[in-house]
Amino acid sequence: METQYDFKRRIYEVLEVSSIGDISSRAYDRLMTVAIIVGLVPLTQKGNNTLTLIIDISVSILFIIDYIARIYTADYKMGYKNYRAYIAYIFTPLALFDLLSISPVLYIFFPVSTIISLFRLFRIFRVLKLVRYSKTMIIIANVVRKVKAQLLAVLILIIVYIVVSAMLIYQLEPDLFDTFFDALYWATISITTIGYGDISPVTPIGRFITMISALVGMAVIALPTGIITAAYMAEITKKKSKYEL
Amino acid sequence: METQYDFKRRIYEVLEVSSIGDISSRAYDRLMTVAIIVGLVPLTQKGNNTLTLIIDISVSILFIIDYIARIYTADYKMGYKNYRAYIAYIFTPLALFDLLSISPVLYIFFPVSTIISLFRLFRIFRVLKLVRYSKTMIIIANVVRKVKAQLLAVLILIIVYIVVSAMLIYQLEPDLFDTFFDALYWATISITTIGYGDISPVTPIGRFITMISALVGMAVIALPTGIITAAYMAEITKKKSKYEL
Amino acid sequence: METQYDFKRRIYEVLEVSSIGDISSRAYDRLMTVAIIVGLVPLTQKGNNTLTLIIDISVSILFIIDYIARIYTADYKMGYKNYRAYIAYIFTPLALFDLLSISPVLYIFFPVSTIISLFRLFRIFRVLKLVRYSKTMIIIANVVRKVKAQLLAVLILIIVYIVVSAMLIYQLEPDLFDTFFDALYWATISITTIGYGDISPVTPIGRFITMISALVGMAVIALPTGIITAAYMAEITKKKSKYEL
Amino acid sequence: METQYDFKRRIYEVLEVSSIGDISSRAYDRLMTVAIIVGLVPLTQKGNNTLTLIIDISVSILFIIDYIARIYTADYKMGYKNYRAYIAYIFTPLALFDLLSISPVLYIFFPVSTIISLFRLFRIFRVLKLVRYSKTMIIIANVVRKVKAQLLAVLILIIVYIVVSAMLIYQLEPDLFDTFFDALYWATISITTIGYGDISPVTPIGRFITMISALVGMAVIALPTGIITAAYMAEITKKKSKYEL
């Protein structure tokens, strides 16, 4: 029994702990980093070919083993040692993303639908894990995490502003759009100042609404910049007063 | 007489006070929130159909009752108890928007003009009321309120800059525009960096003016960001020194 | 002699001093403000017509009288009372702009060239005088004045960056442009993120250069925002510590 | 031997030291500044002509002499006096750029390939040397240097975000793009808010991804502005507390 738990702890350490001395753990980290990046290559291809098939199968096998190993050691990860740890782990967001990201392997054996192949897109979330290897990235991640609530509130405000702008233009220049969704698309592209020009107002009233929307929108889109700058300055000041004083 | 005022105070409380214990008041808040959002659905439709008619009638009835109830309790709201309270309330901006937002119901019975149907757009202002339910929204609203005067001054500055840019390009590349309004539209879309490309200069002199206007404009459009960032930092610093020290 | 100087001082006060008690001075200020704004109306018209002619003649007469009166009282303005004051005043930038802005009146009598009519554009600089009537505008003007040197340095940096980007794309995708000026125009429109799309790269190498230029450009165009935000915060902090402490 | 080293030190001083009293050194600085700017003129021309040929030959001769003189005095520059100084100097980035920037002269004598002519583009890096003549430029350069690591991290983050956005749109609206590189180009142009409109989504799913990408992207592109503003403020505050207190 002891040996089993020693073996389990070792797996857990290789999977999760990244101490500098642990060569196996670091080698595993590097293997998974390469696998994550290589696993994204099929997303740069149209449809499927031999290359994407080989990559998909090999990466998926690796990810399946990783997934099983993580569930097996879930009691170490979650900190309490009974069957609930396994169930709790499976329903953590990261574990769900992991499950979704290995699901595309199914369509290799059961090519019922191409929709499943899109589940490869969930591998993108694994890229986020790479963030923790850079000190500056951690600072940036801290800043973003601290203002998460404000950024979300601003995002909601921006979305409300986009919806309102879309409603105004949709009522006042309806010929410009096929559906209300197109009006939302136009408003988003305009307020973020991208402005492709694939949809642009032609009537005076539509142009007038666009002008008002753009001018007021400048204050709205200044909010995320203001929030992030303020948070970044606070983070830097805190760091300084900690180390310099 | 006492009973009448008790009944009136109760209505006022349901309408305005949002104490956590008051179940009727909270239920009314939720009903109105749903009504505001549902009442915007017709604005996502081209013209009118059965759905928009049903929504318009039901939401309008609700808004009319709400409007009458708010006038009935205006003496509580305004703080002084005579006929002037009612008149003063009717002319507050919010009451005027409320009146305008219920006016579309008229055209259901007297379909004289489609212009009245556009008055539904005034319901959009009711969305602003939803802001008060979020703490972060209140912080953002505070920040924006504090720099309202500066943002307005900057808006005027930006409008002056747009008018001047429009005049310059209108005189130097007149063939590009049908009317001066089009030049104003072009200048607004350019200086806010949207740049649809539906109107873009073709002559060297027009392109030169555009380049100068864009480069100087960068400093002009940096002003709202600067003001909001500064105000946001001041708000955060104030908050911190209040709670942490 | 005394009377003459008293009369001269009175004119100088009406022209320049804006004390609240001086009704004539304030009336003159308002008259000139209206004249400046009305004088810009011809710039919103294509070519010349009866309206622009009437406005041009009346406004020009007013501006000529104003110009002569200002030269007549230049010794008060400049602070030293001899003939050099008049010459020195004539060559101040504002006096030169005033002279240029009244020159269009010449072409009414000698319609030799339409180029002179463009000199009306110099009236735009008079709009800048209107700034001094708003407290917030004065704060903004102070902020901009304080960082004038930095903004100029950044402008030079941005122009160098634009020139370098234009050179790169002009050498690597020459077919996209008729002249090097077009490459400069494209680079300016791209780096300020306007992006009309009238000129956009089509070859892989051109698109690659555009991508690099856009990504590095993000740091370059963040500079004016950073400078203005920092200056604005310093101005606000200074104000606060002055009045609150 | 002494005389030789005196001569060598004199050359080194002329090349590198910019003391105000040293007329030769300042004259050389100005000559090289003019040479750098004139040497860029051929980059504003399509292909080669007599003008570009004359400029290329004269500027190249100057640059070759400068290059040889800099290698000759490398032991002064590097601070240690043996053969390793020369080798170490040759492999410094600036010396490599210098070598690359003089290489185009080769194709005048051996017109094998036009690719070599593109090496003139390396002269652009010499423009960066001009920066040191402006105090404000030095402040800006300091700010940028201090946040170099953060800006690089943000650049990587932005590139990851661009790659992820490109993958999503490439899988969900593949007909829009010929190659994955085009998807990367589209994502870069969209996220930097340039938005030429040469490639813009047409399907609802593509437009939806673009909207999400643009909205989240606003927080991502606010990062460089936040970092530069924070660094700029820290630089200004440091300056002030140094000189004012």
Q: What is the DSSP string of C177-238?
A: -SSHHHHHHHHHHHHTT---SSS---SHHHHHHHHHHHHHHHHHHHHHHHHHHHHHHHHHHH
Give the minimum alpha-carbon distance from C70 to chain B in angstroms, rounded to a whole number.
26
pLDDT of D243 > 60? The answer is no
Q: Give the count of beta carbons closer than 10 Å to the beta carbon of residue B243.
A: 7
* Chain B residue whose CA is closest to A152: B136
What average pLDDT score do residues A88-107 get?
76
Single out the residue in B130, B164, B193 at which a domain terminates. Answer: B130
Q: Give chain C positions within 8 Å (CB) of D134.
A: 153, 156
Check residues B239 and A187 and name the one with the higher pLDDT.
A187
How many contacts does B have with C, using Cβ atoms within 8 A? 114
Residue C208 CA to residue D193 CA, distance in Å, equals: 17
| Mean pLDDT, residues B150-159 taken together | 88
Q: Where are the beta strands (DSSP E) in chain A?
A: none
CA–centroid distance for C14 within its chain: 25
- The mean of the pLDDT values for chain A is 81
* Cross-chain CB nearest to C195 (options D155, D196, D224): D196
Least confident of A227-236, B188-197, C192-201, D156-165: A227-236
Name which of B31-35, C120-124, D34-38, D110-114 the model is least confident about.
D110-114
Do A127 and A25 reside in the same domain of the chain? Answer: yes
Mutate to test the interface with C, among B143, B212, B215 (most CBs of C within 10 A): B215
Instruction: Tell whether C206 is covered by a domain.
Output: yes
Closest CA–CA distance from residue B155 to any residue of chain A (Å): 8
Could you tell me if D55 and D175 lie in one domain? no
Q: Does residue D17 lie in a domain region?
A: yes
Closest-CA distance of chain C to residue A193, Å: 8
- Report if residue C103 sits inside a domain: yes
Q: Which residue has the higher pLDDT, B44 or D20?
A: B44
Query: Which residue in the set C160, C180, C233 is minimally distant from D44, CB to CB?
Result: C180
Mutation to test the C interface, candidates B182, B203, B223, most C Cβ within 10 Å: B223
pLDDT of residue B232: 83
D157 and D103 inside one domain: no
Helix (H, G, I), strand (E, B) or coil at D18: coil
Band (pLDDT 50/70/90 cuts) for residue A75 is confident
Residues in chain C whose Cβ is within 8 Å of chain D: 149-150, 152-154, 156-157, 160, 163-164, 167-168, 170-172, 174, 180, 190, 193-197, 200, 202, 204, 207-208, 210-211, 214-215, 217-219, 222-223, 225-227, 229-230, 233-234
Residue at C225 is within a domain: yes
Minimum distance, in Å, between the CA of residue B194 and any CA atom of chain A: 4
Which residue out of B223, B229, B232 would a mutagenesis test of the D interface target, given it has the greatest number of D Cβ atoms within 10 Å? B229
Summarize pLDDT for B83-124 with one digit per residue, the tens. Answer: 888 888 888 877 887 787 777 666 666 555 555 556 666 777
Structure tokens that stand for C240 in this block = 């606060």
Residues C125 and C13 in one domain: yes
- Choose one of A99, A132, A165: the last residue of a domain: A132
pLDDT of residue A14: 82
- Is residue C182 one of the residues assigned to a domain? yes
Same domain (yes/no): D12, D76? yes
- C-D CB pairs within 8 A amount to 114
**CB burial string C66-82: b at 16+ within 10 A, e below:** bbebbbebbbbbbeeee
Tell me: do B38 and B118 sit in the same domain.
yes
Which among C153, C211, C230 is the nearest to D188, CB-wise?
C211
Rounded average pLDDT over D36-41:
86
Angle between helices A180-191 and D204-243 (to 10 degrees): 20
Q: What pLDDT sits at residue C52?
A: 82
Q: Are B162 and B187 in contact (CB under 8 A)?
A: yes
D201 lies in which domain range?
145-243
How would residue A209 be classed by pLDDT, with cut points 50, 70 and 90?
very high
Of C190, C191, C184, whose CA–CA distance to C167 is shortest?
Answer: C184
For residue D51, is pLDDT > 90?
A: no
Query: Does B193 sit within 8 Å of D197, measured CB to CB?
Result: no
Task: Find the residue in A nearest to C226 (Cα).
Answer: A229
CB contact under 8 A, B189 and A172: no
Give the pLDDT confidence score for residue C30 in this predicted structure. 83
Q: Which of C193, C196, C229 sits opposite A193 (nearest CB)?
A: C193
pLDDT of residue B245: 40
* Residue that is written with structure tokens 């404009």 in the block: B217
Residue D139 lies in a domain: no
Instruction: Count up the domains in chain B and report the number.
Output: 2
Asked if pLDDT for residue A244 goes beyond 50, the answer is: no
Does residue B150 sit in the same domain as residue B125?
no
Q: The CATH number of the domain where A155 resides is what?
A: 1.10.287.70
Q: Pick from A2, A3, A27, A1: which is nearest to A15 by CA?
A: A27
Buried-state track B157-176, b at ≥16 Cβ within 10 A, e below 16: bbbbbbbbbbbbbbbbbeeb
Which of the two residues, D177 and D80, has the higher pLDDT score?
D177
For residue A173, the chain B residue with the least C-alpha distance is B46
Confidence of residue A245 (pLDDT cuts 50, 70, 90): very low
Q: Do C127 and C65 fall into the same domain?
A: yes
Region B213-236: mean pLDDT is: 87
**Confidence at residue C105, expressed as pLDDT on a 0 to 100 scale:** 67
Per residue in A127-163, pLDDT tens? 766 665 667 777 788 888 888 888 888 898 899 899 9
* pLDDT over threshold 60, residue A225: yes
Contact yes or no for B215 and C134 at CB 8 A:
no
Of A217-221, B40-44, D96-100, D152-156, minimum mean pLDDT range: D96-100
State how far the Cα of D17 lies from the Cα of D77, in Å rounded to an integer: 10
Residue A63 near residue A126 (C-beta atoms within 8 A):
no
The verdict on residue B139 lying in a domain is: no
Task: Quickly tell me which residue has 């009935």 as its tokens.
Answer: B72
C-alpha distances (whole Å) from B238 to each of B143, B226, B229 are 12, 18, 14
Tens of pLDDT, residue by residue over D190-221, are 999 999 999 999 999 999 999 999 999 988 88
Percent of chain D beyond pLDDT 90? 21
Is B182's pLDDT higher than 70? yes
pLDDT above 80: residue A8: yes
Per-residue pLDDT of chain C (245 residues; tens, 9 = 90+): 556 667 888 888 887 766 666 788 888 888 888 888 888 888 888 877 888 888 888 888 888 898 888 888 888 777 777 788 888 888 887 788 778 777 766 666 655 555 555 666 677 766 766 665 667 777 788 888 888 888 888 898 899 899 989 998 998 888 999 999 999 999 999 999 999 999 999 999 999 999 999 999 988 888 888 888 888 888 777 766 554 44
Closest CA to A199 of D211, D164, D213, D182: D211
Q: What is the dihedral sign for C-alpha B136, B137, B141, B147?
A: positive
Task: Please tell me whether residues D87 and D117 are part of one structural domain.
Answer: yes
Q: What is the pLDDT of residue D153?
A: 86
